[in-house]
Structure 1
Amino acid sequence: MVRVTFYGGVNEIGGNKILLEDTEKSLLLDFGFPYKRHKMFFEEYLCPRGAAGLLDPLTMELIPPLKGLYREDLQTPQFWDNFKDKSQYRTIENIDGILLSHAHLDHSGHISLIRGDIPIYSTATTAFLAKAIQDSGKSGLDQQICYYNPNKYDIPAGWRQSSYTSDRAEPSIQRQFRLGDIDPSLLNSQSIDFWSVGFWERSARQKQMDSRSLEKSDLSGFNMKCFPVDHSIPGACAWAIETNSGWIIYSGDLRLHGKRPELTREFVEQAKLLNPEALIIEGTNAGRDKNASEQDIFINAMQAISGGDKLIIADFSPRDIDRLLTFLRVAEEYDRNLAILPKDAYLLKTLRLLDLNIPDVNENDNLYIYQKTTRPSDLWIRNLATDYERKTILADEINAAQDEFILCFSFFDLNELPSIRPAEGSLYVFSSSEPHDEEQEIDFRRLHEWLRHFKFKSIGLPEEIDGKWEIPENETGLHASGHASGTDLLDIAREINPRKLIPVHSENPGFFVENLSGDDIEVMLPSPGGSIDI
């Protein structure tokens, strides 16, 4: 008998934390950041305290109380005495690996708290993206997915309160990634160098890293299959695990209307051949059937921009490379330039290591990197600016040629507008992969004020209707969800035809009960922290 316990992703979108146990063996299926619950308690200036180690996320029930799972440098020997009375408390030590479906933080974020000796299984693209996102992002405790900084627990000089602080005497430790889709020996030398070192140093005081070479996916005791699928971030995959009860399929996040639907269709065909005992499937869009394709986005963006002679801002989800390339295509069609941010350039440079179809910023005539007004503290941004010196663009240069640029900005970049001085009638195109982004809480009311102040026109931007923020009906064609529609989810389930179906990553799991009642599929609804025996 196999036991599957659901510590996250139940009755919520994201935060997947699923434990699969088969006799003496066990796996975690993702270990994501629960944005919805996090926002119940925290905001930008009220955050979990990194100096308190595991205390805040455990106390606020953002992570399950599983003694033995987490990094020892974030806990003291007596730490767990405070959590033994929790209903989900248990000791768990023999985790054979984490099957990571993709690099979105709602699936990967809390890996940062897990022991460093537990291997992570992913596609090569997901591994490289995880490193690039960390290299170019914040250095906080909840960002240490690919590598982490060991902590020490002590009392700083002149202080009475003990705390966890980074041990500067110890090198950073890279986690062990094992690739499910590519033999690491086939990677080129530039890819190996990136994995072990990176493109640019983060800071002049950057610590050395105890790097670990990429390995092949070879998990003793489990027969696993990795299936690439289409999602709103490159490298997404589904997993199949052969257990004593039969094959169990974990879909991760997937869609059929994106740029690579053939990947998801191939997964469905192969999963069906396994005659699976159970399918753990995402249900983000359960009950919703409208989904524009990436080609629809291109056509609708072309129409929205047609005839415009002012500055255009394109706002889309971070790390949505498909959307970035769509707007690059739009820019090329209208003889404009696409100005991206340094983090975007870092991701493109990373992905090009694995896919030469990804454009080279230095070689593409229509790609530029916007250089912000504030001098960055991160050394990698300054080094990037040096390497791409002839492709950097400044606010004054965009101001002088506003009809020649599409600027990739989000809400959090709008403080650059006073320097750019956009002309009245400039266009703000809101084109998120989700109408309300899973990873960022956008203050739409404040966004509207910015656009009103600078006299922007907008399209695709949610408006407040009866207390809810909704995209105008005639402007929804600029949004392509990263998740399959309700109809597509049912088609996927019926085609794979598992004996049992378990919906996760959904606020409407009952959708599957209602619509599969006439099929020979038993729908089993998980409960938070509850287990299902298969």
Structure 2
Amino acid sequence: MSVKLSFFTGGGVDGIGGNKILLESHGTALFLDFGKSFGEENKYFDEFLKPRSLNGLGDLLAFDLIPPLPGIYREDLVIPTQNWWEKVFSHPAFRDLTIQGVLLSHAHLDHSGYISLLSPDIPVYTSLPSALISKAIQDCGISDFLSEIVYSKRKEILEDGLICSDKNYSNPSQQRPYHVFTHQLLPESVRYFWNQAPGKRPLSPVSLIPILEEKVTIGNLPVRFWSVDHSIPGAGAFGINTPEGWVLYSGDLRMSGKQAKDTQRFTQEAGTLQLLLLIIEGTRASLNTNRGTKHFTEQDVADRISQIIKKAKGLVIADFGPRNLERLISVLKATEEVNRQLVITTRDAYLLEVLSQCGEVDLPNPLSYPHIRVYSEKRVRTSEWESTLLERCRTQYLTAEEVTFHPDDFVFCFSYYDFSELIDINPSGGVYIYSATEAFNEEMQLDAVKLKNWIDHFNFQLFGNPFAQENTDSYDPLHVGGHAQPDELLNIIETIHPRYLLPVHTECFEFFEKHFGTRKDIQLIRPKAGESVVLP
């Protein structure tokens, strides 16, 4: 027997994000994540030039953005007359395949985004928070064939061979089976949320299936889940117990957050296993690391945000990554210390409400918490999920007029994409706290320039710098990322001490070559798109 691992273009190989790694052993096939590669997709598409829903899988297959595996995808996204599979038949990775599931490490789209393309009967195994976040994102987002991670609208093939969504709103969306790792029975409010349709179209519900002991058997393989620290709740690592030994997949993890003990537990317990292979992320791997450089933690960020808000005059805006709820709680605590109120968007309120009820994450319910207000953007037509939410939070509802008259009472959780609301609020000065990742590509640089123009227009004092790189003299500790530092990666690898080491989700494979390229006890493997590795 052997373990076979297959890798695909934009699948976490020689780049950051888009993880989709196929593991096959003992008659069982599992994908480790099935994410969208923003880097690969942005080579051909952008905000205004997107893969066409009317062409189903066609545009993505044409640019090798998804694995050429006919047996894993939704039938309603395949146009029979297009002969796509014949066109990619010569691809080295092409074959018909049946898989038993997807192990989803967390709910960031570069790990989950292409699940929407998979056959709706393929189960997803993940944490309870990751499942709930995925549904909340879909409920609140734009409906298209690339966003249907939890449930999907059936597509129709028209006479001209194009695909369109079923226009009969009485036909239900089909929900995908999710098996969720959790420490308790599912609360009724969570079950209701999961099976509740966000709009007019009903759901054909598939209940969440709880896994209570962090262990489950999928096909012929026992699988283990560990919670790890990351910049989004519910992140986890997986262990697959193959006949040849354990294969571990780290997902994304760090040691700098307030749940660092979870990563430490994973590392220590993994080190006791008969380990064949460690697949580890290397987002922050670098050869330019300066020894002795201070590693900031989430607590350092929380302390700095509190310091700024205590001295602030006028309206305060805190800008941080979407669904970074640990950062949101840090801002909330700083807001309470000065008797201000935290203002969140309806999207954030929708997510916070269900996560506060799931019993897995320590979060306040925004609809009953006195220091939280909910701001609703101006809309000609409000979505059904948002109308229902606003009806439930009448006492927390906040208007632009109230903010205009009392700007010193509030701290807004806004990002660049919420800036149009500032025109109605019309603040005259205040503080803008930039607590998100710095620009690392040309598109983000352009967005950072526009962000700075808005900040200057409304005379905000800027703390943090969207152009700054960490560990430079200008770096203000207002953000830490969701990934382990280079020295932390080395510590994790040495503690776990696998026979084989396979880095993914990295742009610096040379870091791993430097430290493990000549080692005999830990053999380094460099994955390549379109190829497979067979162990042992």
TM-score w.r.t. the length of structure 2 is 0.92
The aligned runs of 1:376-525 (5 Å cut-off) are 376-424=381-429, 426-432=430-436, 434-436=437-439, 441=444, 443-463=447-467, 473-517=473-517, 519=519, 520-525=521-526
The CA distance in 2 between the partners of 1:511 and 1:470, in whole Å, is 18
| Aligned-pair identity (%) | 36
Three-state SS of the structure 1 residue aligned to 2:278 is: strand
Deviations 1:26-75 (A, max 9, x none): 11000001011111111111111111100111112211211111100000
Displacement after TM superposition at 1:430 (Å): 0.8
TM-superposition CA deviations, 1:473-512 (whole Å, max 9, x none):
3333001110010110010000000011000000112211
Match of 2:59?
56
CA separation of 1:323/1:221 partners in 2, compared to 1, >3 Å: closer, same or farther? same
SS at match of 1:476: coil
More off after superposition, 224-233 vs 350-359? 350-359
Task: Find the counterpart in structure 1 of residue 336 from structure 2.
Answer: 332
Aligned-residue RMSD, C-alpha:
2.1
The answer for the alignment partner of 2:206 in structure 1 is 211
CA contact (8 A) 1:83 1:89 kept: no
Q: Write out per-residue CA displacement over residues 360-379 of structure 1, whole angstroms, 9 at most, x where no aligned residue.
A: 22332210111212344311
Distance 2:335 2:450 in 1: 28
**Partner Cα separation in structure 2 for residue 136 and residue 45 of structure 1:** 20
CA distance in 2, matches of 1:295, 1:141: 39
Task: Name the CA distance, whole Å, in 2 between partners of 1:173 and 1:473.
Answer: 52
Aligned to 2:74: 71
Aligned to 1:2: 3
1:59 alignment partner AA: A
Q: Say whether 1:530 aligns with 2:531.
A: yes
Q: Which runs of 5+ in 1 are unaligned?
A: none
Query: What 5-or-longer segments of structure 2 have no aligned partner?
Result: none
Determine if contact 1:286/1:511 at 8 Å carries over to the other structure: yes
Contact 1:291-1:481 within 8 A present in 2 as well:
no
What are the Cα deviations for residues 178-201 of structure 1, in whole angstroms up to 9, with x where unaligned?
123446xx112222111222xxx5
Structure-2 separation of matches of 1:165 and 1:196: 21
Residue deviations 1:236-277, cap 9 Å, x none?
A: 100000112211000000001101011000001111111311
2:241 corresponds to: 242
CA distance in 2: counterparts of 1:437 and 1:393, whole angstroms: 35
Q: Do the aligned partners of residues 81 and 309 (structure 1) sit closer, same or farther apart at CA in structure 2, a change above 3 Å counting? A: closer
Counterpart amino acid of residue 451 in structure 1: I
Equivalent pair of 2:55/2:79 in contact (CA under 8 Å): no
Asked whether the equivalents of residues 239 and 246 of structure 2 are also in contact (C-alpha less than 8 Å), the reply is: yes
The 3 A distance-change label for structure 1 pair 61 and 29 is same
Compared CA separation, residues 92 and 405, structure 1 to 2 (3 A): same
Contact 2:227/2:235 (<8 A) preserved: yes
Letter in 1 for 2:198: R
Preserved CA contact (<8 Å) 1:430 1:478? yes
Q: Would you say the 8 A contact 2:186–2:210 is kept in 1?
A: no
Q: Does 2:34 match 1:31?
A: yes
By how many angstroms is 1:309 displaced? 1.3
From the superposition, tell whether residues 91 and 161 of structure 1 become closer, same or farther in structure 2 (CA, over 3 Å): closer
1:412 partner amino acid: Y
Q: Give the whole-Å Cα distance in 2 for the aligned partners of 1:481 and 1:65.
A: 33
In 2: Cα distance, 1:213 partner to 1:102 partner: 16
In the TM superposition, residue 83 of structure 1 has moved relative to its aligned partner by: 2.6
Tell me, yes or no, if the aligned pair for 1:462 and 1:472 is still in contact at 8 Å. no
- Aligned residue in 2 for 1:190: 189
Residue in 1 aligned with 2:266? Answer: 267
Aligned partners of 2:526, 2:247: CA distance in 1, in Å?
A: 16
The aligned residue for residue 362 of structure 2 is 357
| 2:203 matches 1:202 | no
**What does 1:284-363 align with in structure 2 at a 5 Å threshold?**
284-287=283-286, 288=289, 291-355=295-359, 357-363=362-368
The residue number in structure 2 matching 1:112 is 116
Q: Which moved more, 1:170-179 or 1:228-237?
A: 170-179
Structure 1 pair 86–165 and aligned structure 2 pair: CA distance change class (3 A): farther
| 1:470 Cα deviation from its structure 2 partner | 7.9
Give secondary structure in 1 for the equivalent of 2:116.
helix
CA contact (8 A) 2:439 2:467 kept: no
TM-score (norm: length of structure 1): 0.92
- CA–CA distance in structure 1, aligned partners of residues 328 and 226 of structure 2: 24
Aligned counterpart, 1:227: 226
- CA shift at 1:137, angstroms? 1.6
Q: Quick one: which of 4, 20, 25 aligns to 1:22?
A: 25
Cα deviation, residue 212, structure 1 = 3.6
Following superposition, the deviation at residue 10 of structure 1 comes to 0.7
- The verdict on how the C-alpha distance between 1:470 and 1:444 changes in structure 2, with shifts beyond 3 A counting, is farther
Q: How far apart are 1:141 and its partner, in Å?
A: 1.0
Q: Deviation string for 1:186-222 (max 9, x for gaps)? A: 112222111222xxx533x323334344253442311
SS in 1 for 2:241: strand
Give 3-state SS (helix, strand or coil) of 1:31's partner: coil
- Distance in structure 2 (CA, Å) of the matches to 1:277 and 1:206: 47
Q: What SS class does the counterpart of residue 73 from structure 1 fall into?
A: helix
1:80 aligns with 2:84: yes
Q: Distance between the aligned counterparts of 1:15 and 1:382, measured in 2? A: 34
Amino acid at match of 1:179: V
3-state secondary structure, aligned to 1:313: strand
Q: Is the 8 A contact 2:28 2:219 kept in 1?
A: no
Aligned equivalents of 2:203, 2:124: Cα separation in 1? 22
Q: 1:210 to 1:190 in 2, by over 3 A?
A: closer
Which string of whole-angstrom CA distances, capped at 9 and with x for unpartnered residues, describes residues 74-96 of structure 1? 00335334433442342233201
- Could you tell me which amino acid in structure 1 is paired with residue 253 of structure 2? L
Does residue 143 (structure 1) correspond to residue 144 (structure 2)? The answer is: no
Question: Which consecutive aligned stretches of 4+ in structure 1 deviate over 4 angstroms post-superposition?
Answer: 469-472
Q: What residue identity is the alignment partner of 1:73? A: D
